[in-house]
């Protein structure tokens, strides 16, 4: 008789199932924290977008983006996280922020009420 290690078969040691559940609960908590932190970050970047639009500043700031990427890569290295992954993640966020800033600038330039995003 062979023992299956396939989850859901009922053949998994209860202690293993319990440890897996504990780890997954931790992952779920971290995911929730990441989502909330991103929401807070985007609230702040929306304010930056409105300020830039009011003062006719460009949506992107390449010098700041470069500094932020270098900073994040360093933080990632110190945290034992792949710096290339951290850079990809930040570039994704920056692209979304710039998209929001462009829309805010367009709405402000058209005299439209800025949309919440």
- From residue 33, how far is each of 25, 27, 78, 97 by CA, in Å? 12, 10, 21, 20
Q: What is the mean pLDDT of residues 8-30?
A: 92
pLDDT tens digits for 57-106?
999 999 999 999 999 999 999 999 999 999 999 999 999 999 999 999 99
What predicted TM-score, i.e. pTM, was given to this entire model?
A: 0.75
User: What pLDDT does 112 receive?
Assistant: 57
Q: Give the end-to-end CA distance of the chain in Å, rounded to a whole number.
A: 58
């Amino acid at each position: 008789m062979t023992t299956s290690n396939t989850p859901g078969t009922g053949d998994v040691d209860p202690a293993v199932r319990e440890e897996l559940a504990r780890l997954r609960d931790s992952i779920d908590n971290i995911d929730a924290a990441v989502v909330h932190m991103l929401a807070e970050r985007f609230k702040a970047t929306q304010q930056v977008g409105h300020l830039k639009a009011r003062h006719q500043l460009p949506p992107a700031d390449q010098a700041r983006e470069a500094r932020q990427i270098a900073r994040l890569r360093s933080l990632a290295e110190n945290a034992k996280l792949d710096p290339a992954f951290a850079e990809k993640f930040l570039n994704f966020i920056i692209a979304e922020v710039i998209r929001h800033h462009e829309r805010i600038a367009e709405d402000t330039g058209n005299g439209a009420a800025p949309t919440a995003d």
